Amino acid sequence: MSQYVSIWALRALKGFSILAWLACAWGQLVAVPALSEAMAGLYPSQTPMRWPYVVMGALLLLCVEVAFVGVWRLLSLSGSGAVFTAKALPCVNLIIGCAAAATVLTAAVLGAFAATAPGDATMQAMDYWSVVTVLGVGAVAGVGFTLLMVVMRGLLRAATDQSDELGQVI
């Protein structure tokens, strides 16, 4: 199996995974707190939500970071030719769990924002609907990605079963 997977592609993907992980860490430490502080400064209705937004944003990025652990393991299994084994299923389950948790966190931020922002006289309608739209699209995309990964897990399970069956025949 390993001869079908380009070592350069695997190394490139691992490199991009490291960059994405570092970007998430930067987001947790710098971007999320700064954005939350800016929202609290611009819109008085968001001041009490500053720290809940920081916590939810940091947890969302933590979900992405943990999911990259599963991706890294899958890339390693692909390089060794063992991706169609039972070892791959926990990695996919980890990714599914992280995607589901991130989706719930996105929906929680959407709900909190939708509940606290409409009464803010300083927030223009365009600002409100832009944030609601971005969070709504993020939540819908999260549901779609989670469902896609559930389907992919089923396909991986079927391929693993067939690979095991073929191994018994040979």
Name the token pair of 49.
């939500």
- d(CA 82, CA 84) in angstroms, rounded, equals 5
For 103-135, what is each residue's pLDDT tens digit? 999 999 999 999 888 877 777 777 889 999 999
Q: Structural domain boundaries of the chain? A: 2-169
**Between 3 and 32, where is the model more confident?**
32
Which CA distances in Å does 56 have to 51, 62, 101, 113, 118? 9, 10, 11, 12, 20
| pTM assigned to the model | 0.88
Q: Is the dihedral of CA 3, 68, 145, 83 positive or negative?
A: positive
User: What is the tens place of the pLDDT at every residue in 20-58?
Assistant: 999 999 999 999 999 999 988 888 888 999 999 999 999
* Gap between the Cα atoms of 94 and 105, Å rounded: 16
Q: What is the pLDDT of residues 57-104, one digit of tens each?
A: 999 999 999 999 999 999 999 888 888 888 999 999 999 999 999 999
Residue 3: which pLDDT band, with cuts at 50, 70 and 90? Answer: low
